[in-house]
Structure formats: structure tokens, C-alpha cells
């Protein structure tokens, strides 16, 4: 067996000597490539950046319609609030709710929701009622009126 016929192991392989001039083929940038966009200081490229080409979300035409600008927004009040702030036999209107500071703005109207229990007999005047709220108010002996 001769020394040159032995299989080359990690210890016997030549070390790559980088940065030793242009003649070595591994000079100048020492196998690290040219300085590009990611090599600059403070470089942070967003995930959707497409190398300066017009991005996909701008190439595809707009579609659809969002109704948020014209949607009706209601001031919401629960039965638990009515039970807390009003006495037996009172009439509840949006104006009274605003005066007492229970709702901040009337917006496009007032909607009564069925969260909580109602133990008092009230006449409630509002723009909208949930179906469960109507049954709970009537079971307590009160009345509902849609404005």
C-alpha cells in the first residue's frame, strides 16, 4: 500500500486560501460575491418586493365594492343597561338615553339587544330591536315601539 493510494480524508484536503490576489481565482471578494442590495447597510427588503418590477397587487385591477362608508351604524344598548338606569314604568327614548349619558351618539339610530335580564316594566322606543329583546321586554310586561 502506498501513501498516494489512500483515500483522501478531511485532514489531507487542501485548505481553500481566499483573498490571495486575482491569480488565485479567489481574490478581491474572497468567494463572497459582489456587493448587492442586501450587502448595503440598513437594507431591509419587504417580503412582497419584486426587484423593482411593478408589484402583483398593482398589476391586477381593482374589483368589488365596500359598503363601510354608507353602512348604517347603530348605537347599541343592552337590556341589562335599561334595567340598571330606568325605574319601573319609565318610557325609554333615544333622546333620554343620550341625555343620561348611556349612549354617546345616536348615529343612524338605536338598537336594543337582549344581553342581560329585564325585571322592570318599560316602554322602549328605538329604531331596531333584536327578536329575543322584544320577547324579553314583553315577558317583563313592557312594550316595544319602532320609531
| 3-state secondary structure at position 37 | helix
> What does the pLDDT look like over 99-123, one tens digit per residue?
888 888 878 889 999 998 888 898 9
CATH number at residue 114: 3.100.10.10
* Residue at 137 is within a domain: yes
Q: Are 80 and 122 in contact (CB under 8 A)?
A: no
Which structural domain, as residue segments, surrounds residue 126? Answer: 75-146
pLDDT at residue 55, rounded to an integer: 92
Domain count along the chain: 1
Mean pLDDT of the chain: 87
Tell me the per-residue pLDDT of 47-72, one tens digit each, with 9 for 90 and over: 888 888 999 989 999 998 888 888 88
| Cα dihedral: 80, 81, 86, 87 (round 10) | 20
Residue 35 domain flag: no
Amino acid at each position: 500500500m502506498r501513501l498516494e493510494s489512500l483515500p483522501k480524508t478531511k485532514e489531507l484536503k487542501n485548505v481553500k486560501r481566499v483573498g490571495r490576489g486575482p491569480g488565485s481565482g479567489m481574490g478581491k471578494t474572497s468567494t463572497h460575491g459582489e456587493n448587492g442590495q442586501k450587502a448595503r447597510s440598513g437594507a431591509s427588503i419587504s417580503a412582497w418586493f419584486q426587484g423593482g418590477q411593478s408589484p402583483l397587487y398593482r398589476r391586477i385591477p381593482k374589483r368589488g365594492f365596500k359598503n363601510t362608508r354608507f353602512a348604517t351604524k347603530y348605537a347599541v344598548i343592552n337590556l341589562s343597561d335599561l334595567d340598571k338606569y330606568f325605574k319601573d314604568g319609565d318610557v325609554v327614548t333615544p333622546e333620554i338615553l343620550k341625555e343620561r349619558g348611556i349612549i354617546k351618539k345616536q348615529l343612524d339610530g338605536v338598537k336594543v339587544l337582549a344581553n342581560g335580564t329585564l325585571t322592570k316594566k318599560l316602554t322602549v322606543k328605538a329604531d331596531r330591536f333584536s327578536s329575543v329583546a322584544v320577547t324579553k321586554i314583553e315577558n317583563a310586561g313592557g312594550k316595544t315601539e319602532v320609531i
